[in-house]
Amino acid sequence: MTPRVVVVGAGAAGLMAALAAREAGAQVTLVEKTTDGGRKILISGGGRCNVLPAVAAPERFVSEATRPLVRGLLGAWPLREQQRYFEETLGVPLALEAESAKYFPASNRARDVRDALVARAVALGVERRFGAEVTSIARATDGWQIALTDGTLAADRVVIATGGLSVPATGSTGFGFDIARAAGHTVHPTYPALTPLTAAPHPYADLAGISLDVTIHARSAREEARSTGGFLVTHRGYSGPAVLDVSHVAVRSLDAGGTRATVRVCWTPMDAAAWTAAFLDARGLAVNLVARYVPQRLAETLCDVAGVTRERTCVQLRREERARLIAALTAFELPWTGHEGYRPAEVTGGGVALDEVQRGTLESRRAPGLFFCGEVLDAFGPIGGHNFQWAWSTGHTAGRGAAASA
């Protein structure tokens, strides 16, 4: 008998789950509360959509699950197979942006990615129920009953691909977490991840607009993270890929109470030894030497923080002055007080415990016939297409799993 599969949510994971289930022979209905679906796809990568990373990085994913479990779920649909699917099956040529190690559609249009996924679903005969919100999902004698704002659906299997809580303007409500809890699942505490940090009051607001590549190390009593990449001073705090990649450490330290995480910045690729040699070698103003490597305004601020006057030459620097300036250059403690929350967050941290779903199918161990994929699951990766890779991989696994015969 052909299984009836209902996929709830037409984001990246849901669209892929619907395609995978239909390609595996299931009768598929895709339900989405918005009128078009894929809205996070449309806004990703500045409207370009960073479809995939050039290299998988399972070791950089954050989850309460074991690393082998995360690695296995991420690699269930290998990266190169995903790339071929987009290019050959969906007809979306991808172009590698070498400097960021990401694949974008060659057209640089996120809409082309979303539209290709939807067009494939239409061509395969996936029934779409867009503009219809799910109000409840309950067991029925012959499977599942899904109540919608405009009717009901019957299904043999249900795939939950409702996303998390990030970017609520795209329709995210956390509904999938409610379904998981009702089914008896552990849902690890959720929090905004890959989100900008704030400082109130902001001691360096006059540096707003300064952008450069840095290395950031965030550390709390529980965890630590390090990232190298873009850094941007904003009027409210700090953003850029390097900040977003370590923000979860700061966010979770606030949620835990007690001591906030420390966030330290190394402003250049030079370490303390290299800076020591540079200062001992130079003859001009110390601030001018620093300004060779970082923007002038930042160089002046770092000298001020270190207590080195802008008229002081490198030769005149006392040992303790040089040490303070080098510390400011290589381990600057970034003052922060909070974060921007879910509104701009790239993803939601926490979610459905990975050890409570079947590894090969993502079927619930608590409620057979229920499947989970994408952001609703407890794992997220760094900036750079990794979270799309997770969405495509887990969506593919859940869709195929749901389509498999009982």
Residues 41 and 97 in one domain: yes
Is 202:235 a contact under the CB 8 Å cutoff?
yes
Residue 238 and residue 186 share a domain: no
Amino acid identity for residue 322 in this structure: R
- Report how far residue 79's alpha carbon sits from residue 74's, in angstroms, rounded to the nearest whole number: 9
- CA 368-170-390 angle, 5° bins: 50
The whole-angstrom separation of Cα 55 and Cα 53 is 5
Question: Does 366 share its domain with 379?
Answer: yes
Please tell me the predicted confidence (pLDDT) of residue 1: 84
Same structural domain for residues 20 and 86? yes
pLDDT score recorded for residue 359: 95
**Does 353 lie in the same domain as 218?**
no
pTM exceeding 0.85: yes
pLDDT at 385: 97
- What's phi and psi for 30, nearest 5 deg? -110, 120
- Please, how many CA atoms are within 13 Å of residue 290, restricted to the half-sphere of its CB? 29
Residue 350 near residue 163, CB atoms below 8 Å:
no
Q: How far apart are CA 321 and CA 325, in angstroms?
A: 6
Any bridge partners for residue 274, and if so which?
Answer: none
End residue of a domain, out of 312, 340, 368: 340
Alpha-helix residue ranges (DSSP H) falling in 270-369: 272-281, 286-290, 296-306, 319-330
Instruction: Identify whether residues 294 and 150 lie together within a single domain.
Output: no
- Amino acid 24: pLDDT: 97
Residue 406 has pLDDT above 80, yes or no: no
Is the pLDDT at 85 greater than 60, yes or no? yes
Yes or no: say if 123 and 109 are a contact pair by the CB < 8 Å rule. Answer: no
Q: How many domains does the chain have?
A: 2
187 and 201 fall within a common domain = no
What does the buried/exposed string (b/e) look like for 250-277 if buried means 16 or more CB atoms within 10 Å of the residue's CB?
Answer: bbbbbeeeeebbbbbbbbbebeeeebee
What CATH number did the domain enclosing 39 receive?
3.50.50.60
Segment 229-254 mean pLDDT: 98
User: What are 275-287's pLDDT values in tens digits?
Assistant: 999 999 999 999 9
Q: What is the pLDDT of residues 152-161, one digit of tens each?
A: 999 999 999 9
Clarify whether residues 327 and 390 are in a common domain. Answer: no
Segments forming the whole domain that contains residue 285: 196-340
Q: Are residues 187 and 226 in the same domain?
A: no
Tell which of 295, 320, 340 closes a domain.
340
- For residues 166 and 19, state if they share a domain: yes
pLDDT at 405 (0 to 100) = 59
> Which of 311, 340, 369 is the C-terminal boundary of a domain?
340
* Confidence band for 127, pLDDT divided at 50, 70 and 90: very high
Which residues lie below 8 Å from residue 399, measured CB to CB, with a gap of 6+?
5, 7, 16, 17, 18, 19, 20, 21, 22, 23, 24, 159, 373
In the chain, what percentage of residues exceed pLDDT 70?
Answer: 100
Residues 280 and 237 in one domain: yes
Average pLDDT over residues 207-228: 98
Q: How far apart are the first and last CA of the chain?
A: 10
Same domain, 177 and 200: no
